[in-house]
Amino acid sequence: MKRRHFIKNASLTGVGIAVGSTLTNCVEATSEEAKAESVAMGDNSEATLPLVIATWHVEAATAKAMEVLQAGGNALDAVEQGCRVEEANEKGQSVGKGGLPDRDGNVTLDACIMDKHGNCGSVVYLQNITHAVSVARKVMEDTPHVMLAGEGAKQFALSQGFEAEDLLTDASKEAWEKWKVEAKYKPIINIENHDTIGMLAIDKNGDISGACTTSGLAYKMGGRVGDSPIIGSGLFVDNEIGAAVATGLGEEVVKTVGSFLVVELMRQGKSPQAACEEAIGRIVNKPNSNYKDFQVGYIAVNKKGETGSYSIHQWFSMTKYQDGKNEQIQSDYFNKS
């Protein structure tokens, strides 16, 4: 098992000291009254800010995001910079440079980003540009649009000074050539075959942003786009409530508009953990669901800084950096049979 997230039980103590204030101090009412009410509601989370969470085992990425936050940067800068670490990491074969190609050998990237105002930007089927998340941010900030696709997205990136590169590394090419021997045209994800990075951060002001970047399913059909660049499916941020991000078989996430669902469930009062569990429930409880054949995982954070994660199968994890600790947290999961 080569993939990074199969490193089990790795508890990572990171460097750096969290210098944030508690969320109850800086976001919500500071009065004793509010505090008493919060304790009465069973909320004993004095979440320390800033905080960052990400899908899978990506402690270098969360460390980068935390570095940005501790230097006074905002959550948007943090999630962009954090995701860029994995995009540049050629060993990660699900994101950016070195991502596994589609069945025709083309590496195509999907990414999106969303800020505290609900602004968002996204790129789909982007080729030859490593930092898809930064192109998504440019779409958000420098165009009147939300989403750019394919050649248009690439031309936009080039016009913004991004450099064209060949994203197919020798290792990914070799893997693709091996896959071709038995090439199956149906894009099947198995539970080992993904580690899209989705990242959510709360900065010291209590503002939330999120980002998501991926090369999508390995050996997918040419032209296939997953959930990761679809606002509401792969990612959703509502600065008043919280945020969620997905990983796994994008088709199943899109069908349930998963990340929006998680945030809406939190709006109704569910904890991030309960909201992630219910969103997974929507997938696995469908009549005739073949959930045994694929993985989906969600992570979420609410405005109080509480976090949650849940997946269909074992071995999904969340990396969380808070209070000076950068650690991998194994996620609870549905399929225990």
Active-site residues: which are they? 196
Question: Cβ closer to ligand SD4: 227 or 277?
Answer: 227
Return the number of other C-beta atoms located less than 10 Å from residue 161's C-beta. 7
Spatial distance between the Cα atoms of 25 and 272, rounded to a whole number of angstroms: 21
The least CB distance from residue 297 to ligand SD4, in Å, is: 8
Residue 94 binding ligand SD4, by CB under 6 A: yes
* CB-neighbour burial class of residue 292 (10 A; exposed 0-12, middle 13-18, buried 19+): exposed
* Stretch of residues binding ligand SD4 (CB under 6 A), selected from 159-167, 169-177, 222-230, 278-286: 222-230
- Asked whether the beta carbons of 306 and 299 are under 8 A apart, the reply is no
Q: Which of 214, 256, 319, 331 binds ligand SD4 (CB under 6 A)?
A: 214
Pick the stretch among 28-36, 69-77, 246-254, 272-280 that binds ligand SD4 (CB under 6 A): 246-254
Q: Mark the segment that binds ligand SD4 (CB under 6 A) among 33-41, 71-79, 152-160, 210-218.
A: 210-218
DSSP string over 220-270: PPTT---STTSBTTTEEEETTTEEEEEEE-HHHHHHTTHHHHHHHHHHTT-
Minimum distance, C-beta of residue 44 to ligand SD4, in the bound complex (Å):
33
- Virtual CA dihedral for 95, 98, 99, 104, nearest 10 degrees? 160
Query: In this chain, which stretch among 172-180, 244-252, 307-315, 317-325 interacts with ligand SD4, using CB under 6 A?
Result: 244-252
The reply on whether position 250 binds ligand SD4 by CB under 6 A is yes
Rounded to a whole number of angstroms, the minimum distance from the CB of residue 95 to ligand SD4 is 8
Q: Looking at 172, 228, 317, 322, which residue binds ligand SD4 (CB under 6 A)?
A: 228
Distances from the Cα of 129 to the Cα of 18, 85, 156, angstroms: 33, 14, 11
The answer to whether 199 touches 84, Cβ cutoff 8 Å, is no
Does position 92 bind ligand SD4 by CB under 6 A? no
| Residue 227 near ligand SD4 by CB under 6 A | yes
Number of residues that bind ligand SD4 (CB under 6 A): 14
- Stretch 259-298 residues interacting with ligand SD4 (CB under 6 A): none
C-alpha dihedral (29, 32, 36, 41), degrees to nearest 10: 10
Cα distances (Å, whole numbers) of residue 96 to 10, 85, 195, 288, 309: 24, 10, 11, 34, 24
Q: Which of residues 168-197 bind ligand SD4 (CB under 6 A)?
A: 194-196
Nearest distance from C-beta of residue 1 to ligand SD4, angstroms: 15
Which one of 226, 258, 272, 308 is in contact with ligand SD4 (CB under 6 A)?
Answer: 226
Residue pair 96/172 in contact by the 8 Å Cβ criterion: no
Nearest approach, Cβ of residue 323 and ligand SD4 (Å): 27
Amino acid at 337: S
In the bound complex, what is the minimum distance in angstroms from residue 291's beta carbon to ligand SD4? Answer: 15
CA atoms within 13 A on the CB side of 157: 30
Using only the alpha carbons of the chain, give its radius of gyration.
19
Residues that bind ligand SD4 (CB under 6 A): 94, 194-196, 214, 216-217, 226-228, 247-250
